[in-house]
Amino acid sequence: MVVGAGLAGLFTALKLAPLPVTVISAARFGEGASSLWAQAGIAAALSEGDTPEAHAADTIRAGDGIVEEKIALLMAREARERIEDLLSYGVPFDKDLEGHLALNREAAHGRNRILHVKGDTAGRAIMHALTEAVRRTPSITVLEGLFARDLVLHEGRVCGVELAPGDKSLARSFVLPANAIVLATGGAGQIYAVTTNPREARGEGVAIAARAGAVIADAEFVQFHPTAIDIGRDPAPLATEALRGEGALLINAQGERFMRAIHDDAELGPRDVVARAVYDEVMSGRGAFLDCRPLGASLPEHFPTVTAACRAAGLDPMRDPIPVVPAAHYHMGGILTDSTGRSTVNGLWACGEVASTGAHGANRLASNSLLEAVVFGARVAGDIAACWRPAAPQAATQITQLSPVENMMASSDERAERTLRLTMTQEVGVIRDGASLRTALATIAGLEGELAGDRRLANMLVTAKLITAAALVRQESRGAHFRRDYPLPDERFARRSYLTLDQADAIAREVSEAAAASGRAALSA
């Protein structure tokens, strides 16, 4: 069973054919996945003179000292074959006039290596091709409108998934058994108030794996995209980095290019540096804007998604600077997996954003996440296929909708969810410190204490707790994790972090006992 119907889940299912696979899709099949929204494209060292070794070196540099080098190298080496797979599924990557694949450059890549589709529509095109390929594959059954809430274990091995129809917390759940279970549930952006991720990206995969005993790695590393479009939409539309690559400038309300004083590469500095600078401008009241006027009349053709999002909000990006804000965008951390996608729990694999393979370290290199999804999707499928005997294929692909998906987003406790999301943005966001992280852990504990059976919220709280506890333990700044009280990297922390849910609970308990003790001391004084 593959839980999640984004790029990682669908690619795994296709690679498992003709083995019978059930894919669980939370939203309607082909919707509700970050993969759909990927704008820039997918990285692969395919241009003349480029090599997988150079791609891996850029990945390792971006990851700020804690990338698993072997993993980065195997990912870069397997990119060519996986791109060939995507082409064979019908992905219409842009080509140059001679018919060769066209490759763009993105920040922190030393070469042109981003495959793209019609400007900024790569994700949609890739997902369209894959959903069509799945429809043509009779060994795959898709169940729509189901959310995984928990894993079922028997003698230490995962043997089923508890699924709830729709998103209503009080709906009856049921268990679907499976011999091998792959979590491909994507990211956790929705536990933050400001995010680019779709509503389904609530980090539930991390939570249910952690509850089953899985080790969670690098949870503290959340990448904030510096330029989400600040027009009050949830999720916030993205102004892709490629805009700055093409000449768009970051200015404040006074029209000052604030990045010039902060980094030699100004607007093209590392994503985390730009995110913190934008955050500072917004928090100081000066505001931050992306000025796309230097792109001229080519903007709507090259960036149709961004242009449409601005126009829908009454902005003309060819005339008005776009208001921007940093937003939770990508979770480098997740379920610890080995090079075949196996988690630390028997019978459980993970791939895509929900997994932590070690490829991204403290900061993901742009366009490496789609690549990671397909490289490890294929590896998971290979590992499962190696220990399985094929069953007879079915006559036709089945897509079954088990519950009305229209009411998916009803929550039994929207107030608590809002509190959690605001707390994560304010206290565990672009800039954190010990005090803010302890405040967040106390808020999470309080919300856990008030839970009234909302399993979805319970899962969000577990993932939030893992991220916050890991951030508290890492007393340094590295990559996307910036601590105001420890602003520099510290060699003693130049390694990945590993955390179980029991350990995160113990950290949260310690924090609340320390707070209670200091409260008592203050009272008696």
The residues that touch ligand FAD, with contacts defined as CB under 6 A, are: 3-9, 24-27, 32-35, 37-42, 122-123, 147-148, 184-187, 196-197, 200-201, 204, 238, 330, 352-354, 367-370, 373
Q: Rounded to an integer, what distance in angstroms lies between the CA atom of residue 518 and that of residue 135?
A: 60
Q: Which of 320, 356, 304 is nearest to 335 (CA)?
A: 356
Structure tokens at 395: 């006559």
Beta bridge partners of 342: 349
Nearest approach, Cβ of residue 27 and ligand FAD (Å): 5
Contact 459, 202 (CB under 8 A): yes
Nearest approach, Cβ of residue 506 and ligand FAD (Å): 26
166 vs 323 by CB, closer to ligand FAD: 166
Q: What is the CB neighbour count within 10 angstroms for residue 108?
A: 18
9 vs 361 by CB, closer to ligand FAD: 9
Structure tokens at 78: 């397997």
- Who contacts 32 (Cβ-Cβ below 8 Å, separation ≥6)? 5, 25, 26, 198, 199, 200
Nearest approach, Cβ of residue 524 and ligand FAD (Å): 47
Q: Rounded to an integer, what distance in angstroms lies between the CA atom of residue 395 and that of residue 140?
A: 10
52 vs 439 by CB, closer to ligand FAD: 52
Q: Is 233 a catalytic residue?
A: no
Please report the DSSP string for 222-281 in residue order: EEEEEEEE-SS-SSPPB--THHHHTT-EEE-TT---GGGGT-TTGGGS-HHHHHHHHHHH
166 vs 439 by CB, closer to ligand FAD: 166
| Residue from 111, 113, 149, 271 carrying the catalytic annotation | 271
Supply angle C-alpha 124, 222, 511, rounded to 5.
145
Q: What is the CB neighbour count within 10 angstroms for residue 174?
A: 12
Contact 189, 235 (CB under 8 A): yes
Nearest approach, Cβ of residue 462 and ligand FAD (Å): 12
352 vs 479 by CB, closer to ligand FAD: 352
176 vs 315 by CB, closer to ligand FAD: 176
15 vs 438 by CB, closer to ligand FAD: 15
Q: Which of 112, 145, 134, 118 is nearest to 39 (CA)?
A: 118
Q: Rounded to an integer, what distance in angstroms lies between the CA atom of residue 525 and that of residue 91?
A: 69
Cα 342 to chain centroid distance, Å, stands at 19
Segments in 18-95 forming alpha helices (H): 52-62, 69-77, 79-88
Contact 115, 42 (CB under 8 A): yes
Q: Rounded to an integer, what distance in angstroms lies between the CA atom of residue 74 and that of residue 53?
A: 9
Nearest approach, Cβ of residue 163 and ligand FAD (Å): 7
409 vs 435 by CB, closer to ligand FAD: 409
Nearest approach, Cβ of residue 138 and ligand FAD (Å): 21
Nearest approach, Cβ of residue 208 and ligand FAD (Å): 7
Nearest approach, Cβ of residue 334 and ligand FAD (Å): 9
Mind telling me the catalytic residues?
271
